[in-house]
Amino acid sequence: MSGRTAPEAKELPALAYAHYVLARAKADDLATLRYFNDTKMADLPTQLAKAQLAAALAQYGDTARAAAAYDSTFAPPPKRPVGLRYVDYGSDLRDSGAVLAFAAGNRDDEPRLTAVMDRIAELFAHAGRTSTQEQAWLLMAAEAAARATGGTMTVAESDAAPQTRGEPLYLRRPLGSGAAPADDRQSRQQPGVANSVDDRRAEKRSAGRKQGVRRQPNGISA
């Protein structure tokens, strides 16, 4: 046994997310991932964390554990612990959108996915306003639902007329640029994962060159 103490409940969502990111890169330790699932799934305080753990298991082909993990996400969300919103900036609406974004590709769960959509619609109808977390996950949920059902979505950009399309509209603003976001149809990401590290590094190098940053021997940027 190591001398490390067990993680606190508020740390568990971050650990679930870490497992998902590592699994996406095929860099996680499968035994550790399975142990975390088997011992901590019931303690995860949000549906988003459970969906991320389910997706991580699915990345490694552990369909039995992934299915069981997804099963736990479809249940009505438990009451969120007091103060958790200030740790993960989440809500029941955010988490429900995330569950749909992760699980929409599984057509075997269509009846339960429909129930999640109904829950999202009800929560959204009663929301006085939405946070950026909620807005982002609702967009990803809408895309996932459209892809899963073969449907379309209505997209409006700035003052342009709304368009009905089967593909989402991706916009990217280059780092260090004041230009308006450009249509980036090649940017295809999994839910909740940023572009690759190499992409981010390339963008940072490009931004540095544009801003004329140079490194002096004394370590001071001019």
Which pLDDT value is given to residue 212? Answer: 45
Identity of the residue numbered 213: V
Instruction: Give phi and psi for 171, each to the nearest 5.
Output: -120, 140
* Claim: this prediction has a pTM higher than 0.75: no
Terminal Cα distance for the chain, rounded? 50
Residue 154 is inside which H or E element, if any?
strand 153-155
Q: Which residue has the higher pLDDT, 86 or 156?
A: 156
CA distance 191 to 189: 6
Q: Which of 14-18, 148-152, 203-207 has the lowest mean pLDDT?
A: 203-207
- pLDDT (tens digit per residue) in 62-71: 999 999 999 9
Q: What are the structural domain ranges in the chain?
A: 9-173, 174-222
Which pLDDT value is given to residue 192? Answer: 56
- pLDDT (tens digit per residue) in 141-181: 888 888 777 777 777 777 888 888 777 777 776 666 566 65
Q: Which residue has the higher pLDDT, 53 or 196?
A: 53
Return the structure tokens found at 212: 């004329």
Cα 188 to chain centroid distance, Å, stands at 13
Q: Which of 43-57, 59-73, 125-139, 151-165 has the lowest mean pLDDT?
A: 151-165
Identity of the residue numbered 164: T
Return the structure tokens found at 101: 């974004």
Contact indicator for 96, 60 with CB cutoff of 8 Å: no
Output the average pLDDT for the chain: 77
Neighbours of 194 (CB within 10 A): 9
Contact indicator for 53, 39 with CB cutoff of 8 Å: no
